[in-house]
């Protein structure tokens, strides 16, 4: 087992895991046309569906974005610990706000026409901002966290100065003591029962989906942020990742059992949702947390050393996420009328998109100013 790395060392395993979480967007979006009972207004679908593809989709979807936000929080804590909050704010504005300004118009210029093609089989070009922020929603959430952290730190500094003037610093110390206690009980427990319960409360209104719930995604972000400063929990994950994996798989199976009995797209006021909504979200959040803990422990234990291929994929992952959706959706929709087994269509969509993203990254991005913007300096 490799020693825990300090903030001067690159966390190669977690870097690779973050790349995996981003790259798996290709798999999820290639799978969506073949998921049974997927509403056409959400995603254009093929004439047939596939249970194996659906299981792949649901398994990845349940932990992927919670894990991504946890890792984002972890690396945010690494940056602020090794540098400063001002450095992190500047870094996030360069690496998130600027790509949003560049790639949001690209999504508006491609996705609306491609999705209409998937529904009507007619390819007509038009530009539309309807449905923004499209698949770049996670970047908007990260920007919200930047704004919130700036407000929080500024308010904390102002309160500190005021309380110091009136000689009431004990109130501020009490606040930080309460915050430390809550963090320790909720976010740093080796047995995350309380954490799952708290997260369920903030996920219930959106059925566990994070796209329109930055509060819930912010909790996962803070979980990762606190993990960086809790070496004991990180070591425990590394030693017990198999236990977390087994527990997560059991809960995921339970989630799938409940999921198969109800329509997950029911509105919250529906009587069936009122009965099954809470257990469904509890199982969804429980599986997301435990599987994320397992994956973090696994990569920290097994992938702690530098690997040139993994590093290359890590560098390419941001570009892959930004540009993959127009590519994979067009390929998937194009194959709707091709007579092939749908599992083969799915695999072809993933493979062609992956190759297209890697080739464009190598020749158009890696050694350019765009590559510097997305990945910073390579060491």
What pLDDT does residue 180 have? 85
* 29: helix, strand or coil: helix
Q: Which two tokens stand for residue 279?
A: 């257990």
CB 103 within 8 A of CB 136: yes
| Cα angle for residues 265, 18, 226 (degrees, 5° grid) | 90
Backbone angles phi, psi at 33, to 5 degrees: -65, -15
For residue 61, give the nearest of 297, 273, 259, 330 by alpha carbon: 259
pLDDT digits (tens, 9 = 90+) for 275-331: 888 999 999 999 999 999 999 999 999 988 888 888 899 999 999 999 999 999 999
Match 């469904």 to its residue by tokens: 280
For 2, which DSSP code?
A: P
Whether the bond between 34 and the residue before it is cis, its omega within 30 degrees of 0, is no
Domain-located, residue 103: yes
Domain-located, residue 4: no
pLDDT digits (tens, 9 = 90+) for 100-137: 999 999 999 999 999 999 988 888 888 887 755 567 89
What pLDDT does residue 81 have? 81
Domain-located, residue 314: yes
Q: Which two tokens stand for residue 163?
A: 């309380």
Domain-located, residue 2: no
What pLDDT does residue 8 have? 45
Average pLDDT over residues 165-193: 82
Distance between CA 262 and CA 279 in Å, rounded? 12
Distance between CA 248 and CA 255 in Å, rounded? 10
Domain-located, residue 355: yes
Structural domain of 212:
12-375
Q: Is the pLDDT of residue 4 over 60?
A: no
Domain count, the chain: 1
Domain-located, residue 107: yes
Domain-located, residue 5: no
For 366, which DSSP code?
A: T
Taking 3-state DSSP, the helix, strand and coil percentages for the chain, each rounded to the nearest 5, stand at 75, 0, 25
123-158: b (≥16 Cβ within 10 Å) or e: eeeeeeeeeeebbbbbbbbbbebbeebeeeeeeeee
The percent of residues above 70 in pLDDT, for the chain, comes to 93
CB 66 within 8 A of CB 211: no
What pLDDT does residue 158 have? 82
Domain-located, residue 6: no
What pLDDT does residue 350 have? 97
203: left (phi over 0), alpha (psi -120 to 50) or beta: alpha
Average pLDDT over residues 238-256: 97
Q: Which two tokens stand for residue 30?
A: 């290639």
pLDDT digits (tens, 9 = 90+) for 200-217: 999 998 889 999 999 999
């Amino acid at each position: 087992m490799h020693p825990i790395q300090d903030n001067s060392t690159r966390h190669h395993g977690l870097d690779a895991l973050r790349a995996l979480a981003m790259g798996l967007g290709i798999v999820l979006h290639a799978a969506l046309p073949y998921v049974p009972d997927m509403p056409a207004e959400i995603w254009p679908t093929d004439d047939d569906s596939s249970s194996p593809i659906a299981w792949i989709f649901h398994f990845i979807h349940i932990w992927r974005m919670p894990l991504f936000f946890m890792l984002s929080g972890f690396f945010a804590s690494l940056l602020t610990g090794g540098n400063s909050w001002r450095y992190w704010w500047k870094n996030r504005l360069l690496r998130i706000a600027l790509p949003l300004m560049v790639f949001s118009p690209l999504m508006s210029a491609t996705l609306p026409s491609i999705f209409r093609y998937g529904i009507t089989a007619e390819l007509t070009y038009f530009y539309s901002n309807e449905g923004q922020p499209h698949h770049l929603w996670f970047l908007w959430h990260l920007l919200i966290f930047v704004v919130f952290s700036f407000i929080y730190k500024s308010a904390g500094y102002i309160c500190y100065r005021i309380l110091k003037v009136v000689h009431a610093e004990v109130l501020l110390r009490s606040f930080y003591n309460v915050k430390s206690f809550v963090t320790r009980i909720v976010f740093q427990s080796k047995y995350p029962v309380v954490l799952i319960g708290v997260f369920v409360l903030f996920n219930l209104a959106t059925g566990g989906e994070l796209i329109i719930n930055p509060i819930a995604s912010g909790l996962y972000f803070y979980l990762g942020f606190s993990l960086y400063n809790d070496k004991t929990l990180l070591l425990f994950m590394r030693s017990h990742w198999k236990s977390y994996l087994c527990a997560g798989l059991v809960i995921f199976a339970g989630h799938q059992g409940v999921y198969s009995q109800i329509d997950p797209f029911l509105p919250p006021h529906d009587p069936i949702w009122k009965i099954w909504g809470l257990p469904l979200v509890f199982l969804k959040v429980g599986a997301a947390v435990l599987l994320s803990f397992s994956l973090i422990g696994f990569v920290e234990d097994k992938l702690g050393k530098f690997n040139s291929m993994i590093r290359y994929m890590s560098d390419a992952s941001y570009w892959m996420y930004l540009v993959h959706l127009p590519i994979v959706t067009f390929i998937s929709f194009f194959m709707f009328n091709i007579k092939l087994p749908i599992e083969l269509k799915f695999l072809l969509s993933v493979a062609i998109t992956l190759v297209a993203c890697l080739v464009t990254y190598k020749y158009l991005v890696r050694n350019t100013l765009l590559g510097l913007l997305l990945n910073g300096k390579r060491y």
